[in-house]
């Protein structure tokens, strides 16, 4: 069979992670090798390094027309498996196998973060994205403060990133940590009690990290325009039943 040439239309973390299980499944189910499409772009190099650079089933970069990823001819009008990750596997002619994204980096454990909730209210699209979704930050604060009350026995640690161009909302936290890189962030997720995040790449990464830290709680603050949209409810886009979606007013 022909090689797989994989490429995502967008370069964000979640955009890449949604296809992260495909190379392994193509190899195991069809005996096909996967390459990244030559010219594929990424929001930053760390996304490439984590999602694809560490993936032993990605054999390199190859020229040619992509034949895997979010191809225009694929019908994503309905999520037939009930899960966004397994639905991509089905659409690519594979037996649906995974319900979480997958990374192959082996994260460390950091005991000082046991019992902590990481607060990552950052997003490239915090105010407005391509589909017209936006956050009312006053409503975000109301939801966040309720979470602080609910988990009052946990330490809330704010996450800050070096050299990352994103919009950040800074609620009250107990402490703040500067992240060295995306691998450091994985180490923290592998150690923490939970992650409080927006409907963003951090949610997708936390879903992948649940493979290592099975008890990791994902508290995803989500605007109603996202949660109740057809894309979420019918297409199942980045909707996972193991994520706690806290919908704002």
Sign of CA dihedral 100, 5, 96, 88: positive
The stretch 45-54 carries a mean pLDDT of: 96
The stretch 234-245 carries a mean pLDDT of: 90
pTM for this entry: 0.93
pLDDT at residue 137, as a whole number: 87
- Is 37 a residue whose pLDDT tops 70? yes
Where residue 191 falls (left for φ over 0; alpha for ψ -120 to 50; beta otherwise) is alpha
- The tens digit of pLDDT for each residue in 60-116 reads 999 999 999 999 999 999 999 999 999 999 999 999 999 999 999 999 999 999 999
pLDDT at residue 249, as a whole number: 86
Contact status, residue 243 vs residue 210, Cβ threshold 8 Å: no
pLDDT at residue 163, as a whole number: 67
How far apart (Å, rounded) are the C-alpha atoms in residues 189 and 73? 36
- Is 178 a residue whose pLDDT tops 90? yes
How far apart (Å, rounded) are the C-alpha atoms in residues 200 and 220? 9
Q: What are phi and psi of 68, to 5 degrees?
A: -150, 150
Better pLDDT: 229 or 183: 183
Could you give the count of Cα atoms lying within 13 Å of 180 in the half-sphere of its Cβ? 5
Q: Could you give the percent of the chain with pLDDT greater than 90? A: 79
CATH code of domain 111-247: 3.40.50
- Is 132 a residue whose pLDDT tops 50? no
> DSSP 3-state assignment of 52?
helix
Query: To 5 degrees, how large is the angle CA 92–CA 97–CA 103?
Result: 90
How far apart (Å, rounded) are the C-alpha atoms in residues 62 and 73? 21
CATH 3.40.50 domain span(s) along the chain: 111-247
- Is 118 a residue whose pLDDT tops 60? yes
Q: Which residue intervals of 92-223 are DSSP H helices?
A: 137-150, 182-191, 201-209
- Is 212 a residue whose pLDDT tops 60? yes
């Amino acid at each position: 069979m022909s090689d797989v040439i994989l490429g995502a239309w967008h370069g964000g973390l979640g955009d890449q992670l949604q296809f992260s299980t495909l190379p392994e499944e193509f190899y195991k189910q069809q005996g096909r090798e996967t390459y990244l499409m030559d010219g594929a772009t990424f929001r930053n190099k760390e996304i490439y390094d984590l999602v694809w650079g560490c993936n032993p089933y990605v054999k390199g970069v190859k020229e040619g027309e992509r034949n895997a990823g979010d191809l225009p001819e694929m019908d994503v009008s309905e999520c037939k498996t009930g899960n966004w990750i397994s639905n991509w596997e089905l659409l690519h002619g594979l037996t649906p196998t995974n319900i979480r994204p997958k990374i192959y980096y082996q994260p460390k454990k950091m005991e000082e973060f046991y019992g902590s909730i990481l607060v990552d209210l950052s997003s490239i699209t915090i105010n407005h994205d391509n589909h017209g979704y936006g956050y009312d930050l006053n409503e975000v604060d109301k939801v966040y403060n309720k979470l602080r009350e609910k988990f009052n026995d946990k330490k809330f640690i704010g996450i800050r990133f070096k050299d990352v161009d994103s919009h950040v909302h800074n609620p009250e936290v107990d402490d703040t940590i500067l992240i060295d890189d995306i691998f450091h962030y994985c180490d923290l997720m592998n150690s923490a009690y939970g992650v409080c995040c927006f409907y963003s790449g951090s949610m997708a990464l936390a879903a992948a990290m649940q493979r290592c830290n099975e008890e990791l709680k994902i508290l995803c603050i989500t605007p109603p325009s996202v949660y109740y949209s057809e894309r979420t409810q019918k297409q199942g886009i980045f909707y996972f039943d193991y994520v706690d979606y806290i919908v704002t007013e």
